[in-house]
Amino acid sequence: MVLAAGAAAGAAALAVNIMERKQESRNPFYRVVELTDETVDPAIWGKNFPLQYDDYKRTVDMTRTKYGGSDGVPRAPTANDPREVTAQSRLEEDPRLKTFWAGYAFAVDFREERGHAYMLDDQTFTERQVVTKQPGTCMHCHASVYVPYKKLGGGDLIKGFEQMNHMPYMEARKLVEHPVACIDCHDPGTMQLRVTRPGFLEGIRALKASQGVQNYDVNTMATRQEMRTYVCGQCHVEYYFKGPDKRLTYPWSKGIKIENILSYYDENPHKDWVHAETGAPVLKAQHPEFEMYNQGIHARSGVSCADCHMPYKREGALKISDHHVRSPLLNVNRACQTCHNWTEEELTQRVNTIQDRTFELRNRALDAVVALIGDMKAARAAGKTDADLKTAMDLQRRAQFMVDFVEAENSMGFHAPEEAARILGIAMDLARQGQLAVRQPDFQPSSFPTPPGVKPTPREVTPPPGSSTGGSGH
């Protein structure tokens, strides 16, 4: 009798629990507050989406992997920099980078990256702000700019973007309050993913045009799975400040392979600075994760950035994306083992092997460029002119950008191992040819400049058939 009653109670409790879970799954969120296209503060969004907001707040975590992230370095706050913690200096870890970037602000302060929570403060208080006058363009990827752009442009996103670009950094800084926030990637009415950054809107349109697709509108023409990469590609890209208006431009109109980008810079002459020791007009690669990812096996397999950096998880009956954006190496179980049926130890070791090999090549390529810089510096001291060193300067510009393309890309080769190795191998060759050009005035470099006709491959930025149907595979 007692057992029967207990069984009945248990069955009733189970039924209630199932009903509650079903009800929970039918109501993915509860509308506590009304969100509009002007709601910037993520804490307000968090009232409707507390699970995602709790994850978002965890981007303050500072846990490093072997080749990325930060342990957090304590510091004494000052009147000009109130931060009590920063990331470790990459310049102290590898002094060759000071020679690499001689004469540029990055030779003064360059640190490991921290989470999204710090993107605005770390940009505001870097010592680079002291040695150079940065433009408001930087806000594009270091702040939540969607609403500030629209307000500045009188409701026009692009006009506001154009106005903020040429503002002094500190003037533009007064117009923004938050680092990247919910409104930058989500429509407040439908919660659909959306691209709000003008740099990407224009860049992807130019890239698609190079592939024969005219007037591409990413927000109406991309698949949901593509959007799970594009919202990240809004900022994790190569870019430059074009012309006196400092218009943020993604150099993609000839494609997104490194040869395409270098070819773009050849046709649209641009230099980020003049190297202090060689006089060469050189380029600083930014953080081309999107470009490198597109050359790798995960992109070809239709895996998005969010699949690995924001993998789905279960919270009760709900399936949500993990908004604690971080390295997959800190979340192997959900980031990797969802697709790869291997132990966590095995998968971690595979990544370590790729990154260790890339790091070795990166070191050899960096040595080659630093050796070229040393030879050019000595040649100038001996009286050689710009005309004498023109070929060497051209080779330095190209080799240095190639090394930086891998150095600045935050995966130490993992996003596209073969492509990273190819780029670093060519960079070493170009740097060594540069040393020959210093010694031999009539030296004719091989494979330089890049042969014309480098075209994007059909699959660039286009997941293979069957993989772009909207994230239903996870």
* 381 pLDDT above the threshold of 60: yes
2 confidence band (pLDDT: 50, 70, 90): low
Question: Is the pLDDT higher at 395 or at 318?
Answer: 395
122 confidence band (pLDDT: 50, 70, 90): very high
> What is the average per-residue pLDDT within 288-300?
97
Interhelix angle 390-407/417-439, nearest 10 degrees: 160
pLDDT at site 462: 46
b/e burial code for range 166-186 (CB count within 10 A of at least 16 → b): bbebeebbebbebbbbbbbbb
* 134 pLDDT above the threshold of 90: yes
- Give Rg (Cα) of the chain: 25
> What is the average per-residue pLDDT within 221-239?
98
- Specify the amino acid at residue 233: G
212 confidence band (pLDDT: 50, 70, 90): very high
Nearest to 278 by CA among 396, 382, 368, 364: 396
> What is the average per-residue pLDDT within 71-85?
93
* 65 pLDDT above the threshold of 70: yes
pLDDT at site 24: 55
* 473 pLDDT above the threshold of 60: no
pLDDT at site 438: 98
pLDDT at site 30: 76
Question: How would you classify the pairing of strands 273-274 and 281-282?
Answer: antiparallel
pLDDT at site 470: 36
CA–CA gap between residue 6 and residue 270 (Å, rounded): 78
| Average of per-residue pLDDT values in the chain | 91
* 149 pLDDT above the threshold of 80: yes
11 confidence band (pLDDT: 50, 70, 90): low
> What is the average per-residue pLDDT within 144-151?
98
CA–CA gap between residue 322 and residue 227 (Å, rounded): 16
pLDDT at site 100: 98
Which of 182-186, 243-247, 317-321, 428-432 comes out lowest in average pLDDT? 317-321
468 confidence band (pLDDT: 50, 70, 90): very low
15 confidence band (pLDDT: 50, 70, 90): low
Element (H, E) at 74: strand 73-74
> What is the average per-residue pLDDT within 418-431?
97
Q: Are 468 and 299 in contact (CB under 8 A)?
A: no
Task: Please tell me whether residue 67 adopts helix, strand or coil conformation.
Answer: coil
Return the DSSP state at 107.
G
pLDDT at site 5: 65
Q: What pLDDT digit, counting tens, does each position of 301-329 carry?
A: 999 999 999 999 998 888 999 999 999 99
1 confidence band (pLDDT: 50, 70, 90): low
State percent of the chain over pLDDT 90: 84
Main-chain dihedrals φ then ψ at residue 273, nearest 5 degrees: -165, 170
31 confidence band (pLDDT: 50, 70, 90): confident
pLDDT at site 441: 85
255 confidence band (pLDDT: 50, 70, 90): very high
Written as six digits, the tokens of 230 are 């594009």
DSSP string for 405-418 = HHHSSTTTTTTSHH
Contacts (Cβ under 8 Å, ≥6 apart) of 453 = none
CA–CA gap between residue 401 and residue 395 (Å, rounded): 10
pLDDT at site 237: 98
